[in-house]
């Protein structure tokens, strides 16, 4: 079964790298790629409203299957008209399968061939999550893009451990395909294999032989070095079908995104811009800035003079520092708006450079700026 109303087209390629510009069509609208996807874990991007996201130009939001299945429950959301209606978001949605959350709570779960049994982090109650159940939950939620249930391989892992995890993910992928009943949702498979090139290549070959609508690279950002991550990306991305969208799950520094685009990745998600905003760490073209620093107490400048976001157009560093130090919620919201704008602008610039045939130069210039801009200390004074 292929998804109806779902189409991906590559509109430009960079001759010097693997980068490409594309357009993803879904039942709830189109998404220009490469795209950064904000994380709306519990059907909300923390501190921001759907209107905020729309005004920033967000085209796709990720929601968390594990958390929503526990609270308020997939059945409740389905009875209320589905996830789009529940969270008042009319544009495309993506839901993960819960695989990473299972990975992240090792002390609460047990993995078998059938699936995973775990205890809720909310109340300790016992639950079971299988490939079939993960698909059923995501179909009830009604996102445009849903993910196969996978076993996220821990790091470090021996070759034998990585192969065992990869083989389980592939068997679960087949069960996910058999379990799907809705034709209006695109189902993506996930490539595992840890940092081992032969396993990543084998997983990609076997997974792409299955009729998924898109393919993701998972199991990164769990402890590997930057060099290992890049090696996996450069080795794996070209092995995924050029006519299908490619999704890198969970990685997210600005450098990660740019190098991911250069490797041929189309879609990215990460909690970094929103989480950093809530902890007062702000991304700028001059480096990362810790707004709580005492040096900003009388600073009239915006966070980033080159930024056109609402926060930078309207407020000073001094005011943002005051809000953060005073523990005012508005500060978290304004910081998050700024960081999200930074990430969205980074992807918009990459798309523009791809359209103009200047991506290689753009990549070199932005990477040089990022690597040459040290983060500000927590307290410059």
pLDDT on residue 103: 78
Nearest to 232 by CA among 191, 200, 280: 200
Phi-psi region of 142 (alpha: psi -120 to 50; beta: other; left: phi over 0): left
Higher-confidence position of 98 and 170: 170
Residue 144 a catalytic site member:
no
Average pLDDT, the chain: 95
Read off the pLDDT band of 125 (50, 70, 90). confident
237-275, pLDDT tens digit by residue?
999 999 999 999 999 999 999 999 999 999 999 999 999
For range 220-246, the mean pLDDT? 97
pLDDT for residue 101 is more than 90 = no
Per-residue confidence (pLDDT) for residue 376, from 0 to 100: 58
Confidence of residue 380 (pLDDT cuts 50, 70, 90): very low
Domains of the chain, earliest start first: 7-270 (3.20.20.105), 282-371 (no CATH)
**150 among known catalytic residues:** no
Cβ proximity of 21 and 264 under 8 Å: no
Which pLDDT band holds residue 277 (cuts at 50, 70, 90)?
very high
The confidence score (pLDDT) of residue 379 equals: 40
Specify the 3-state DSSP secondary structure of 208. helix
What confidence score (pLDDT) does residue 30 get? Answer: 98
Q: What is the mean pLDDT of residues 345-369?
A: 97
pLDDT score recorded for residue 373:
79
Bridge partners of residue 20, in order along the sequence: 13
User: Which structure tokens are listed for 342?
Assistant: 């930074």
Residues 6+ apart with CB under 8 A from 103: 151, 152, 154, 222
pTM, two decimals, is: 0.96
- Render pLDDT for 140-171 as a digit per residue (tens, 0 to 9): 999 999 999 999 999 999 999 999 999 999 99
Marked catalytic residue, from 14, 96, 213, 304: 96
Annotated catalytic residue: which of 14, 151, 256, 269?
Answer: 269
pLDDT in tens, 292-337: 999 999 999 999 999 999 999 999 999 999 999 999 999 999 999 9
Encode pLDDT of 188-218 as tens digits.
Answer: 999 999 999 999 999 999 999 999 999 999 9
Confidence band for 381, pLDDT divided at 50, 70 and 90: very low
């Amino acid at each position: 079964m292929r998804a109806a109303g779902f189409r991906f087209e590559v509109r430009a390629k960079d001759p010097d790298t693997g980068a490409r510009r594309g357009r993803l069509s879904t039942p709830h609208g189109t998404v220009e790629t490469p795209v950064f996807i904000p994380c709306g874990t519990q059907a909300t991007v923390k501190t921001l409203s759907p209107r905020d996201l729309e005004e920033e130009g967000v085209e796709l939001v990720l929601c968390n299957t594990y958390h929503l299945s526990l609270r308020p429950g997939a059945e409740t959301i389905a009875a209320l008209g589905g996830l789009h209606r529940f969270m008042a978001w009319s544009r495309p949605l993506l839901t993960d399968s819960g695989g990473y959350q299972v990975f992240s709570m090792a002390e609460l779960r047990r993995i078998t061939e059938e699936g995973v049994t775990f205890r809720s982090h909310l109340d300790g109650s016992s639950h079971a999550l299988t490939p079939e159940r993960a698909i059923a939950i995501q179909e009830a939620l009604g996102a445009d893009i849903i993910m196969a249930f996978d076993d996220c391989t821990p790091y470090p892992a021996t070759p034998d451990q990585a192969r065992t995890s990869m083989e389980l993910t592939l068997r679960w992928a087949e069960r996910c395909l058999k379990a799907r009943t809705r034709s209006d949702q695109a189902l993506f498979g996930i490539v595992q294999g840890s940092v081992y090139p032969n396993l990543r290549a084998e997983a990609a070959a076997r997974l792409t032989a299955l009729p998924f609508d898109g393919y993701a690279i998972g199991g990164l950002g769990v402890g590997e070095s930057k060099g290992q991550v890049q090696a996996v990306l450069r080795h794996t991305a070209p092995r995924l079908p050029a006519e299908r969208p490619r999704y890198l799950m969970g990685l997210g520094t600005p450098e990660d995104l740019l190098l991911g685009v250069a490797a041929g990745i189309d879609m990215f998600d990460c909690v970094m811009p929103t989480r950093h905003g809530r902890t007062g760490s702000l991304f700028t073209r001059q480096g990362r800035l810790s707004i709580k620093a005492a040096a900003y107490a009388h600073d009239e400048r915006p966070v980033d003079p080159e930024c056109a976001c609402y926060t930078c157009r309207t407020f000073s560093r001094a005011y943002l520092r005051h809000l953060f130090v005073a523990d005012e919620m508005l500060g978290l919201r304004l910081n998050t708006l700024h960081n999200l704008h930074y990430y969205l602008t980074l992807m918009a610039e990459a798309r523009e450079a791809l359209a103009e045939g200047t991506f290689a130069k753009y990549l070199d210039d932005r990477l040089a700026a990022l690597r040459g801009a040290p983060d500000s200390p927590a307290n410059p004074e």
